[in-house]
Structure 1
């Protein structure tokens, strides 16, 4: 079965999804959902929503897909128990710690892996399957071949996005909103900085796209639309077709769900005859679009994937201005599409932005009309100047919106369940109503009144039918009605109405019965309830953290060791687009070990199917070289690393390690050291327990990666990527994205042609180095890939000195830190935290 999964951010959207034909919906309560700005549902509304959906045989999945802090675990545990009790069909999670908690608190609850878990390869799916996940929502960056490879090699349900907004960064790997404004996407409060304007500049601040006919929204992708690809997605083996849009209006949900429902049904019925009508695409565009793309499913589209001129709804182009009367403020539009009264149009004015007009009246050849066909020239009043040849877009189609609203504002259900009703009555017996619905559920009810011999007006089939067929706002419709009236009898109309109502209520309860669960003992859990043993730290046993430097060249390794680094991290993605060869890896290990220090060999953050063989060879090489540890950044790499090497494993910060339970869980998977999420503040870090088996690490210095993306702005606009072959413009110079506040974000590309956007400000925790030892942190790390050799050497030396001398260091004792820190530094989230 192919499941159509709809987004629900409000009760109206829920009704729209159900009536539009969704097989399942996903929504959130007021806590722990990755769309905190949506209306979402109170506990009482969740109960109502689940019952409403279940009555119609629609499943309900609740998003519990934010990173969870230790202090939130008691509330989370109560919430999980509540979701189980009310019959939620599955929860969707990002935080691996939440998964562990759910498996312990509500073991029978199905769990889906959110796209925020960044699962983008078969190996990641295999690990989650072993752990007990029922379904995996794969990353939106996968190609059709990637999806097919995963589906054909796993029995786990695979869910893929088919329509709606796209993130330009891999989901779960974006820190941009968090670091810029403190609103974390991993915590459900993304401020969407990707939809803001940026300029691609060089080291002198020159705009490099002046001659490229580019818009200014360089990180804003078009919306996903896979209507044409439905047959291929079905053939690939996708279980669930997911529509994005919990922030969207219910009208959007109605139209998109209805369109995809009809498309999927048509494809399943006659796949060889499947086609997409132009009108369907027009309606999808009309309800909301930033223009459409198939993203990465078929090919790398470069700038063709981007909505760089408008980051929000474009509407549908309906024509151009053919005449404008300034005195009368009347614009004449040569129409390419029909126009109706109450439609809203945007004039894309060449100078001055947009002019939005609600069409309250219009004229053709001087005659008032209520509609105008394509090809006509129609005159409408405008409140601001427009120009001849300006393009006109319809952003609100009154007729389409009326149809959309019919899905959720009609008093009665649109799609009903067919029932067969039998009424039996005879003198001396109660009137009995039996109902069987099309799904096999049944109910029965009797009147408390005993039927009597009729004196004047005996019951007839017509009288019974008139009362029994009054199903009103219920979800049922009569298929057949059988009346078995024995003799001439009388039963009051009120009794017939009452027994009909009770029979319907019993049928509703029968339909809800399969979703009911046994009540579990209610308990409020805390973090230590999920740990194998109590963690006790001796505050007097303060150990000096080791200094780790993450380098990407041999020269940086050498200068870091000379400056006092205890451990080198090396490998994974390079920021200069260069490949690290086996020879370079061997050289790096030899240099570090000859210095008597440790080396952690890194693996790429993202490993798609086409990279997997290469990474497996690298892991075998790491084993041969006997590195001190191997760093992994995604679940797929963890899966293969455990099979190929017996070296210690380090879990890097892209795993989003945010609470004690995640630490415990990953340790059980073989990870012996971990880099904590850079979104944690000092107070949270101090709360995280660590036993002697797990060394916790914090990032303290460098340009932190804010985004990692399959899309490359440099290649798309300067490298001619859309032509099919990139000219590697990224190798010619350094690049930055400049935002509205003139902040400069470094843009680099790795050897896999992925784009990494780094923070505009350099993280620096120099004044606070002594505090890390007091918290129990075992290692502090400098991110040196973006640094010059000289700068990395200076910073490594300073951190070494501060670790060794502590509060006695002259820079701290004399408050002279400004002499070694430049202006563009940040303390990250250590003191402010995230929302």
Structure 2
């Protein structure tokens, strides 16, 4: 049985999810959840929510899926212990340090790997399976074929998203919100810069799309898999997940109820048909238009909501006339419209006009409460519109009222059927036995001993009336067997108390099955790197031999070679071998880089490189996710360096990496200076810090140039990225360069260059072994110059005089940023 997993950002949304048919619900407490701006649940609220769900055979998974600061670890430990005591069924984590702590203090709590872990290959799933994770949430960029392959070859549960908002970036790899606005998506505070307007420009700054596209070039449509539910189930997915912890309860009720009906229909009959009303309900409750993302194909611009980043509503008609004097519009309907609904007019000039339908008539002036497709109606609107303007219903009063019924009545909607046996006799207590379909039994009896009735003896009707008073309990009486011996009298209050006792015991039996627990927790294996690894003072990351030569000429004593090519060139085994010979001749350390995203179809190519590299071994291999650590360990005995994509943000993560066989690590660029300094003092791993370069803000399966200029989604891409450079320009005229790698992933680079040149001399004293320059986006001459500048700056005293400081600032230029070194993140 596939699980239908629903979001809940409030108690009302929880009730809506459960009453609409969810098998499980995911939610967060007031801290450590990736949706910090949802209402979320305090401790009492979580306890109540877990009891509410468990009584109804619904599981509760708690999101603890943010990156954690060292100062938060004591609170995290208390929280994890609380979650175990409260009865949570699983915790969902992103931070490997959080996973390590959870395994140590709540070892039997099931661990789910969040999509924020960027797990997009079988290798990654198997690595987490070996670590004892019970479920993995896959990246949303995978196809049905890839999902099926993973499900067929692992023993953990696989969870995939099936409905809701999409991130344009691989989840867990986005720095855009933090770098632009100081609010980190990895810390649960994403400001959604992807929903803002951008212009695609060429090297000369010219808009290359014009009116061929809208302004919201990074804003995806919403995921909707209603048509591929059978395919997801056949693929072997254990859990189908709805996104939406920021959504209102009516949204949760509508989406859960629609998918519940669709899943049940397929599982029951193996015949699958989705009626138009179900589709309309999904669109009406919220949509940015819909897509199946990458499940079926690579959709290109058809995946994007580039004209509008927010709710579109449901198209229900077009304007046929407008009365300028009375401000009355006439609309020919293609869908239902009723009083209380709200509509948006998409006007040709000025954006949109919004109106609530408080009064409506037909063309003859007769008042209407509702109208159907094909009708022509008139109503008032606050601003002018024109003929043929489209009309979208963005709020459906009737649908919202139906959805509210799922959570607002105060009484359960989906009740559990029970049977009752009641026995009453003179000289004996009255007994009540309640049974559910799962074999649970609840008993109750009166303290009062039955007496001979003087006026009104007990009857079946009286007993049914009292036993059936189940009120706001979850039960529904379907059958009653009453055995009354003689004309007996028992006070109504006593019968009510016996019923209450039976319900309480029945509750306790139903709750006894929960929470879920791991029978034999798997300890994280300790396999610390045993070799020695010299640490370069200055390492430069490059993607071709020309840039490598430039870095060597500048004096770099460490080169990080390969991975993604910003020049869209396929790096071969020969390229890595040539880099090795070049490094050996120059007597510099050489590390090999892997790409941040390595799908199953690309992995064999890098397996070939790693295997061949036994003949030209690097000092270390830089990895970007758990899958790559496992891959390098499986194929080689090379030292492993955890690059910044693995998000080393706290000492627990560094301890995990060390135990897992990692030899060194690059700290997260979201850390501020004081945090880096504190980590360096305690870390057993040699640490690096990125000090210069255009940081990657996003890595995406979606390519804006390929989608809008290169025919992606309609045919073979013409690779416009090889014919020129492009950038995204935001509302403030900032330019974010785009680089497309050899795997057609799009990398969005920061508009400003990170520079710590005036502070380069301070890192050694802070305990940072290696400074890392991200030079893949630089030209060779620039690489040589900046490398020399850092080497010279590192030799200067920690306290610079005014002349030295001014000289360094002139070298780094004006268009720079200090990143988070001195401002941190929320």
SS of residue in 2 equivalent to 1:320:
strand
Give the Cα–Cα distance (whole angstroms) in 1 for the partners of residues 70 and 682 of structure 2: 16
Give the Cα–Cα distance (whole angstroms) in 2 for the partners of residues 578 and 300 of structure 1: 21
Give the Cα–Cα distance (whole angstroms) in 1 for the partners of residues 814 and 535 of structure 2: 29
Structure 1 segments (4+ residues) deviating >4 Å: 530-533, 689-693, 808-812
Equivalent residue, structure 2, for 1:194: 194
Give the Cα–Cα distance (whole angstroms) in 2 for the partners of residues 458 and 382 of structure 1: 67
Q: 1:559 to 1:657 in 2, by over 3 A?
A: same
Give the Cα–Cα distance (whole angstroms) in 1 for the partners of residues 516 and 128 of structure 2: 25
State the aligned residue count: 813
Equivalent residue, structure 2, for 1:527: none
Equivalent residue, structure 1, for 2:373: 374
TM-score by length of 2: 0.97
Equivalent residue, structure 1, for 2:563: 572
1:704 counterpart = 2:703? no
Give the Cα–Cα distance (whole angstroms) in 2 for the partners of residues 215 and 325 of structure 1: 31
Equivalent residue, structure 1, for 2:17: 17
- Deviation of 1:509 after TM superposition, in Å, equals 2.0
SS of residue in 2 equivalent to 1:409:
coil
Equivalent residue, structure 2, for 1:126: 126
Give the Cα–Cα distance (whole angstroms) in 2 for the partners of residues 732 and 812 of structure 1: 43
Consecutive unaligned residues of structure 1, counting only runs of 5 or more, are: 519-529, 534-542
Give the Cα–Cα distance (whole angstroms) in 2 for the partners of residues 343 and 702 of structure 1: 52
Equivalent residue, structure 2, for 1:590: 581
SS of residue in 2 equivalent to 1:716:
helix
Give the Cα–Cα distance (whole angstroms) in 2 for the partners of residues 132 and 408 of structure 1: 37
TM-score by length of 1: 0.96
- Deviation of 1:618 after TM superposition, in Å, equals 1.2
- Deviation of 1:582 after TM superposition, in Å, equals 1.9
1:829 counterpart = 2:820? yes
Give the Cα–Cα distance (whole angstroms) in 2 for the partners of residues 598 and 809 of structure 1: 30
1:35 counterpart = 2:35? yes
Which stretch of structure 1 is more off in the superposition, 636-645 or 742-751?
Answer: 636-645
Q: 1:811 to 1:28 in 2, by over 3 A?
A: same
SS of residue in 2 equivalent to 1:608:
coil
| Contact map agreement 2:361 2:368 (CA 8 A) in 1 | yes
Q: 1:496 to 1:620 in 2, by over 3 A?
A: same
Equivalent residue, structure 2, for 1:753: 744
| Contact map agreement 1:802 1:809 (CA 8 A) in 2 | no
Equivalent residue, structure 2, for 1:348: 346
SS of residue in 2 equivalent to 1:723:
coil
Give the Cα–Cα distance (whole angstroms) in 2 for the partners of residues 796 and 420 of structure 1: 79
Give the Cα–Cα distance (whole angstroms) in 2 for the partners of residues 814 and 423 of structure 1: 89
- In the alignment, which of 610, 621, 624 is matched to residue 601 of structure 2? 610
| Contact map agreement 1:544 1:773 (CA 8 A) in 2 | no
Equivalent residue, structure 1, for 2:616: 625
1:441 counterpart = 2:432? no
- Alignment map for 1:83-482 (pairs within 5 Å): 83-210=83-210, 213-271=212-270, 273-364=271-362, 365-482=364-481
Give the Cα–Cα distance (whole angstroms) in 1 for the partners of residues 225 and 388 of structure 2: 32
Which stretch of structure 1 is more off in the superposition, 442-451 or 494-503?
Answer: 494-503
Give the Cα–Cα distance (whole angstroms) in 1 for the partners of residues 387 and 134 of structure 2: 58
| Contact map agreement 2:442 2:501 (CA 8 A) in 1 | no
Give the Cα–Cα distance (whole angstroms) in 2 for the partners of residues 27 and 544 of structure 1: 43
RMSD of equivalent CA atoms: 1.7
Give the Cα–Cα distance (whole angstroms) in 1 for the partners of residues 248 and 739 of structure 2: 37
Give the Cα–Cα distance (whole angstroms) in 2 for the partners of residues 237 and 532 of structure 1: 32
Give the Cα–Cα distance (whole angstroms) in 2 for the partners of residues 620 and 190 of structure 1: 40
1:683 counterpart = 2:647? no
Q: 1:453 to 1:809 in 2, by over 3 A?
A: closer
Q: Deviations over 1:760-808 (max 9, x none)?
A: 0000001111221111111110000001111111110011111223347
- Deviation of 1:502 after TM superposition, in Å, equals 2.1
1:3 counterpart = 2:13? no
Equivalent residue, structure 2, for 1:817: 808
- Deviation of 1:424 after TM superposition, in Å, equals 0.7
Equivalent residue, structure 1, for 2:530: none
- Deviation of 1:353 after TM superposition, in Å, equals 1.3
Consecutive unaligned residues of structure 2, counting only runs of 5 or more, are: 518-523, 528-533
- Deviation of 1:14 after TM superposition, in Å, equals 0.2
| Contact map agreement 2:61 2:92 (CA 8 A) in 1 | yes
| Contact map agreement 1:811 1:817 (CA 8 A) in 2 | no
| Contact map agreement 2:450 2:490 (CA 8 A) in 1 | yes
Q: 1:249 to 1:516 in 2, by over 3 A?
A: closer
Which stretch of structure 1 is more off in the superposition, 691-700 or 353-362?
Answer: 691-700
SS of residue in 2 equivalent to 1:309:
coil
Which stretch of structure 1 is more off in the superposition, 620-629 or 136-145?
Answer: 620-629
| Contact map agreement 2:525 2:659 (CA 8 A) in 1 | no
| Contact map agreement 1:163 1:223 (CA 8 A) in 2 | yes
| Contact map agreement 1:5 1:240 (CA 8 A) in 2 | yes
Give the Cα–Cα distance (whole angstroms) in 2 for the partners of residues 60 and 434 of structure 1: 29
Give the Cα–Cα distance (whole angstroms) in 1 for the partners of residues 491 and 216 of structure 2: 70
Equivalent residue, structure 2, for 1:521: none
Give the Cα–Cα distance (whole angstroms) in 2 for the partners of residues 266 and 547 of structure 1: 61
Equivalent residue, structure 2, for 1:769: 760
Equivalent residue, structure 1, for 2:638: 647
- Deviation of 1:583 after TM superposition, in Å, equals 1.9
| Contact map agreement 1:764 1:826 (CA 8 A) in 2 | yes
Give the Cα–Cα distance (whole angstroms) in 2 for the partners of residues 246 and 823 of structure 1: 41
- Deviation of 1:813 after TM superposition, in Å, equals 3.6
Equivalent residue, structure 1, for 2:710: 719
Equivalent residue, structure 2, for 1:498: 497
SS of residue in 2 equivalent to 1:207:
coil
